[in-house]
Amino acid sequence: MILNQWYAILPSRKIKKNRIIAVRRLNLDLALFRNKKGEIACVSDQCTHRGAALSKGKLIGDCIQCPFHGLEFDKDGKCRFIPANGKASTADITRYNVRHYPVRELNGIIYIWLGDKEKATGKLPFFYDDIDDSYVYSEIEDHWNSHYSRCIENQLDVVHVPIVHYNTIGKGSKTLINGPKVEFENGILTTSANNEVDNGQSPKAPADCVIRETNLNFIFPNLWMNHISSRIKVIIYFAPVDDENTILYIRFYCKIARFRAVNSLVAFIGKYANKIIERQDKRVVITQKPKASSYKSGEKLLVGDGPIIMYRRKREELKNL
């Protein structure tokens, strides 16, 4: 994982009031809940006393209570009460504090900060210039037995489109890969397909290609967008579970009609169309070895893999900061 980053890990709707949810993300077992103010809290799903899962407990006021011996912890992981010590106890109980993780939510997405808490940035990664309240979206999720880096690379890969998606978005046998052109500006990686039918011509160099209206965008560490048009976009956030598993949260955004109800219907249908395409990818990506990609590897990359190379290089730079 890249440290000191905000990772999109879960839809906000998953965490309801008066409920605790257990999730595994970033190789961590976590318990998430909301306090009375609706603020999200995220703590290690293991009581410091005897190691029980806090997610099996319950909420007492603004605290999560361990199901084993009743220790209570607030949203910052601070131990507030130990029943066995009694209400009159004045003993220092700070040594029982559990680890907590900074969490925030934006546009219906929960983000967790992985790394030094003091380095947490104020701005969360999102496509602010592309998505606003005029869009409606519908969301679907899917679990892949693959490292999140492989899942992301698949969505930046223009070479596979006519092969894997030969009967959907890759129709037309455009197997000759021009470029593609790749840009990295203001923290966003952008590329687009310039594929053609192979009639014996030589492919164009990346410098001779352009970024088209339909293009792919990526923001580290795990947020991707297919800019289909000014009115239709698809966003995926790749929530790392562990080194071999990822959950893809796929959103179809739409504002093609005047009425939100119509856009909602289009988005609902669109997400299932995306699922068909995504399942074509999944069948292949989960077979890749090793599970995680790396900048320095034994893979023999093509010129058309430019977006993958850019992603790997930038990821390596961030990991080494």
- Residue 101 domain-assigned (yes or no): yes
Lateral strand order in the sheet of 109-114: 5-11, 109-114, 103-106
Q: Within this chain, do residues 115 and 179 fall inside the same structural domain, yes or no?
A: no
User: How many independent structural domains does the chain possess?
Assistant: 2
| CA–CA gap between residue 148 and residue 144 (Å, rounded) | 9
What's phi and psi for 315, nearest 5 deg? Answer: -65, -40
- Residue 129 domain-assigned (yes or no): no
Q: Within this chain, do residues 272 and 150 fall inside the same structural domain, yes or no?
A: yes
Q: Within this chain, do residues 156 and 13 fall inside the same structural domain, yes or no?
A: no
| pLDDT per residue rounded down to tens, the chain (321 residues) | 899 999 999 999 999 988 999 999 999 999 999 988 889 999 999 999 999 999 999 999 999 999 999 999 999 999 999 999 999 998 999 999 999 999 999 999 999 999 999 999 989 999 999 999 999 999 999 999 999 999 999 999 999 999 999 999 999 999 999 999 999 999 999 999 999 999 999 999 999 999 999 999 999 999 999 999 999 999 999 999 999 999 999 999 999 999 999 999 999 999 999 999 999 999 999 999 999 999 999 999 999 999 999 999 999 999 998
Residue 104 belongs to what domain range? 5-119
**CATH assignment of the domain containing 141:** 3.90.380.10
| CA–CA gap between residue 309 and residue 313 (Å, rounded) | 6
Q: Within this chain, do residues 284 and 176 fall inside the same structural domain, yes or no?
A: yes
Q: Within this chain, do residues 103 and 190 fall inside the same structural domain, yes or no?
A: no
List, in sequence order, every residue forming a beta bridge with 110; answer none if it has no partner.
10, 105
Q: How many CA atoms lie within 13 A of 293 on its CB side?
A: 24
Q: Within this chain, do residues 242 and 93 fall inside the same structural domain, yes or no?
A: no
Note the pLDDT tens digit of each residue in 19-34: 999 999 999 999 999 9
**CATH assignment of the domain containing 32:** 2.102.10.10
